[in-house]
Amino acid sequence: MHSSGRRSAGAVARVAVLCAALVVPVPFAVSASAGVAGAASAASAATAPLSTITDLGTLGGDLSIANGINNAGVVVGYSDLASGTQHGFRWSGGTMSDLGVEAGGGDSVANAVNDAGQIAGQATRADGGYAYPVRWSAAGVLQDLGGPITNRLGVGNAIDPSGRVAGGQRPADSEGSPEAIVYDAAGNPTELSTPTQTLNAATGINARGQVVGGPAFVWQNGSLTMLPVLPGGQGGSANAINVSGTIVGTVSRTGTLSGLDAALWQNNTLTDLGTIDAIQYNQATAVNAAGQIVGTADPECQPCAAPEAWLRQPGGALTKLDTLLPAGSGWTLQSATGINDRGQIVGVGLHNGHKRGYLLTPAFAATVNFEPAGSTIPVGYAADTGAAYGARSGGLTYGWNIDNSVNTRDRNASSSPDQRYDTLIHMERSGSATVWEMAVPNGHYTVHLVCGDPSNTDSVYKVNVEGVLTVSGTPSAASHWIEGTSQVTVSDGKLTITNATGSSNDKLAYVDVIAS
């Protein structure tokens, strides 16, 4: 899911250097910090905490680094052991597990985790040696993807839902920096550079098979597109890509101001996101399905001000993550490296003086997939099967103005990027339900809504969330899904979704609701 960010491939050396690499990241069905039944009487957002923060702990040493998170809330990264070596970890439900190292190896780093629990990273083959790209299975079995050539060092930076790893290695002659490679489920490499050594190690991959990296590029099915950068600048780098193809990264500034700005690319159009607190070097590291972006601004000098982690809501400004912390938390957040589809953020901060990986969870988040009863439920989601409004499992309350279960569909289409895009519910048929609601605490929300049907394009999608037109568009053979994200305010304890004027045959696929 997600999202991912990396340092440049030229910085790859021993695993101690590689461990600063970042990843891609993606919703729980319910908030980890607030139930929603009876939410109409909940405290207002003005008095409720904006988020909760969790110290992920360590594997016995005093340092941990969180690099990525999936939609189940599983976090990966690396930590010092009491012995001083560094091992990749998997954190879930309050427990950090050691992913171990290769036989004879000394160190490892975990960079990204998919919803199936597979993990991408790198590990050394010998104590103190160079790192090679690896993949851990959901059961924790390590697979070396690096091939037989000695000193063909590399990284595994991101992983898609099917287990394909995006990263890279040195060329076969073992000279130069790692170049972009994608490893399939069996471990077979596909080199993306033609000619070789023109693309640095890949940093992100999504469910559609789109791969990104630096210099700023997107690759899919053998087709390479270079992304636009600022005129007169020194280029840029793409760090992460979400399921709909939104890309984030960094671009070199122009004119007399040296440094880097965070960057956003949508439909091959660049938006310069600037920086925060006038910090010279800034990068966007991850983006979720809703278009929420996280990143890190770093002066990259000593002594200087400390790095700052930030969040950007769609269409908004960069906001320091420290402003979302509960009072007296003891934290100063220095980097943000991953975000999942329910808005949970991971990164690194100082907690009472100790450098630790963290998990920042919104005060409320709910993610719901519209599907027939008995269909596979996407990881991290609750299922809406068309039932009338009422209490659901996990403390959620949601549903339709009348029973709408006969209007659910599961297409099982090969063109669907994942299960969320394969299922749907009609909300504009004769006799169907027309209003969907969810009980939420009063306050402000980022709402991401997807409409579509992998098998048909017989609609004009226009859908309101809290009276705000959030989805508006007509599907085509090239694009079966239309989506949108809105910032809305709830004052009556229920978030409401309705058909908008001009719609025809509206179909909902899934919705992400995140307190903001």
Amino acid at 443: G
Pick left, alpha or beta for residue 164 (phi over 0 → left; psi -120 to 50 → alpha; otherwise beta): beta
Structure confidence by residue, pLDDT tens digits, 265-319: 999 999 999 999 999 999 999 999 999 999 999 998 888 889 999 999 999 999 9
| Residues making up the chain, counted from first to last | 516
Look at the domain 365-515 and name its fold: Jelly Rolls (2.60.120)
The side-by-side arrangement of strands in the sheet containing 217-220 is 202-205, 211-213, 217-220, 223-226
Q: What is the pTM of this model?
A: 0.91
CATH number for the 9-26+70-345 domain, one of 1.20.1260.10, 2.130.10.10, 3.40.309.10, 3.30.70.980?
Answer: 2.130.10.10
Q: Shortest CA distance to 421 belongs to which of 238, 244, 254?
A: 244
pLDDT band at 191 (very low <50, low <70, confident <90, very high): very high
Residues 111/4, Cβ–Cβ less than 8 Å: yes
| Predicted local confidence at residue 49, as pLDDT | 54
Q: Residue 59: beta bridge partners?
A: 81
Spatial separation of the C-alpha atoms in residues 157 and 167, rounded to whole Å: 5
Spatial separation of the C-alpha atoms in residues 439 and 38, rounded to whole Å: 7
Reduced to 3 states (helix: H, G, I; strand: E, B; else coil), residue 489 is strand
| Predicted local confidence at residue 196, as pLDDT | 66
Sequence-distant (≥ 6) Cβ neighbours of residue 438 within 8 angstroms: 36, 366, 368, 396, 397, 398, 494, 495, 513
Structure confidence by residue, pLDDT tens digits, 240-264: 999 999 999 999 998 767 899 999 9
What value does the mean pLDDT take over residues 194-216?
Answer: 92
Query: Where exactly does CATH 2.130.10.10 map onto the chain?
Result: 9-26+70-345
Give the mean pLDDT of the chain.
90
Spatial separation of the C-alpha atoms in residues 97 and 15, rounded to whole Å: 19
Query: Where exactly does CATH 2.60.120.430 map onto the chain?
Result: 365-515
